[in-house]
Amino acid sequence: MYTELIDLTTISEEEREQAMDRAGEIIRAGGLVAFPTETVYGLGADGMNPDASARIYEAKGRPSDNPLIMHIVDTAQVEEIAAEVSPDAGKIMDAFWPGPLTVILPRKRTVPSTTTGGLDTVAIRMPSHPDARDFIRRSGRIIAAPSANISGRPSPTRAGHVYEDMKGRIPMILDGGPVGIGIESTIVDMTGDHPTILRPGYISLEEITDLAGEAEIDPAIAGRTPAKDLVAKAPGMKYRHYAPKGQMILVEGETSQVVRKINELTALRQAEGFTVGIIGTEETLSLYPEGIAKSVGSREQPQTIAANLYRVLREMDASGADYIYAESFFDEKLGDAIMNRMLKAAGYRVISCRR
């Protein structure tokens, strides 16, 4: 299959109209279109068409019990797919939509089980990215969309990442440039007696607690090690997510000690003949051997770390590193969201320099 890559950032208004028309046609015919959102790129299909959502699983190589998020542009669309919206759920949607937040609500039976993975709930998100909104609105459909990566790879934060993974598998990619946030939406389950965060993201526990009075993070995913006796409520969180080909190890503690430890380990592995990659920050990059370290962002601005993380993980893989030593960000703002991804990528291997 030929994959058309359309650069929305450079084409004329008229070419954009034509491209959006074609994207809508593909969706209404049951096909797939990748599109930018403010979090990560999505792989969209008509969420109410079971054959279309089945194509998503096929293109991604994704297990079919892992449900998809339904993307809307208008709050009126919620009642097409949700059986019930509690007052708290309404408040949360009002406060954070459009934006990087997904709510879990009881589903209507009209939502195909291929989309919901057989669950009796549905995940709904209203993105804020103008290209995403334009695409969804003009398709005239509710768009089921997972992140547009091959299952097991980091989510795509630019169209080039989508192209790497989806070339030949889908007919169209809309390129809206690099995304702003860079990690997937906060997922909050609104079907219990208080909101439960099933996947941490840009919208924090504090922000949700402020609104609802009480909220928690799913205990199965809250810790620094996988909870042994608990099953994550979001089916996708139980899968071993992105693991680089090399062994990734997080180092935590006071920054100067972390840098020393990473340099020590690097020298050791290099002496053994291994290729090493280092994930550092703007503040520490000059303290590591040149050429093998990459900056993931600035500790002063943790949102830059979220924005660059998946790109840097892809680059580490491309560099062929056997060992990847990474600084960690447990205490920074967005720490829950960033470390949730980094811990998974590292298979929960953490070396602590605290004593």
Chain positions contacting Mg ion, by CB under 5 A:
147
Task: Classify residue 118 by burial, with Cβ atoms within 10 Å: 0-12, 13-18, 19+.
Answer: exposed
121 binds, among ligand TXA, Mg ion, none (CB under 5 to 8 A by kind): ligand TXA
CB of 205 to ligand TXA, least distance (A): 17
Over the window 88 to 117, marking each residue x when it contacts ligand TXA by CB under 6 A and - when it does not, the resulting string is --------------x-x-----------x-
The dihedral built from the CA positions of residue 240, 242, 245 and 250, taken in this order, carries a sign that is negative
Single-letter amino acid, residue 113: S
143 contacts ligand TXA (rule: CB under 6 A): no
What is the rounded CA–CA span in Å between residue 313 and residue 279? Answer: 9
334 contacts ligand TXA (rule: CB under 6 A): no
Q: Quickly count: other Cβ atoms within 10 Å of residue 51's Cβ.
A: 11
Which parts of 186-215 interact with ligand TXA (CB under 6 A)?
Answer: 187, 198-199
85 contacts ligand TXA (rule: CB under 6 A): no
146 contacts ligand TXA (rule: CB under 6 A): yes
Rounded to the nearest 10 degrees, the angle between the axes of helix 205-212 and helix 87-96 is 130
Pick from 26, 126, 159, 234: which binds ligand TXA (CB under 6 A)?
234
What is the rounded CA–CA span in Å between residue 351 and residue 101? Answer: 32
Task: Provide the edge-to-edge strand list for the sheet that holds 143-144.
Answer: 4-7, 172-175, 33-35, 42-46, 143-144, 69-71, 121-125, 101-106, 186-189, 196-199, 216-217
From 21-29, 142-150, 240-248, 289-297, span contacting ligand TXA (CB under 6 A): 142-150
Pick from 42, 47, 246, 280: which binds ligand TXA (CB under 6 A)?
42
Q: How far is CA 6 from CA 20, 26, 33, in A?
A: 10, 14, 11
C-beta of residue 45 within 8 angstroms of C-beta of residue 146:
no
Q: Output the residue with the shortest Cβ distance to Mg ion.
A: 147
147 contacts ligand TXA (rule: CB under 6 A): yes
235 binds, among Mg ion, ligand TXA, none (CB under 5 to 8 A by kind): ligand TXA
From 2-10, 181-189, 331-339, 341-349, span contacting ligand TXA (CB under 6 A): 181-189
- Our CB check for Mg ion shows the closer of 67 and 253 to be 67
Which parts of 292-331 interact with ligand TXA (CB under 6 A)?
Answer: none
42 binds, among Mg ion, ligand TXA, none (CB under 5 to 8 A by kind): ligand TXA
Q: Quickly count: other Cβ atoms within 10 Å of residue 263's Cβ.
A: 16
49 contacts ligand TXA (rule: CB under 6 A): no
CB of 259 to ligand TXA, least distance (A): 32
161 contacts ligand TXA (rule: CB under 6 A): no
CB of 247 to Mg ion, least distance (A): 22
237 contacts ligand TXA (rule: CB under 6 A): yes
123 contacts ligand TXA (rule: CB under 6 A): yes
What is the rounded CA–CA span in Å between residue 123 and residue 112? Answer: 13
Residues near ligand TXA (CB under 6 A): 37, 39-40, 42, 66-69, 102, 104, 116, 119, 121-123, 125, 145-147, 184-185, 187, 198-199, 233-237
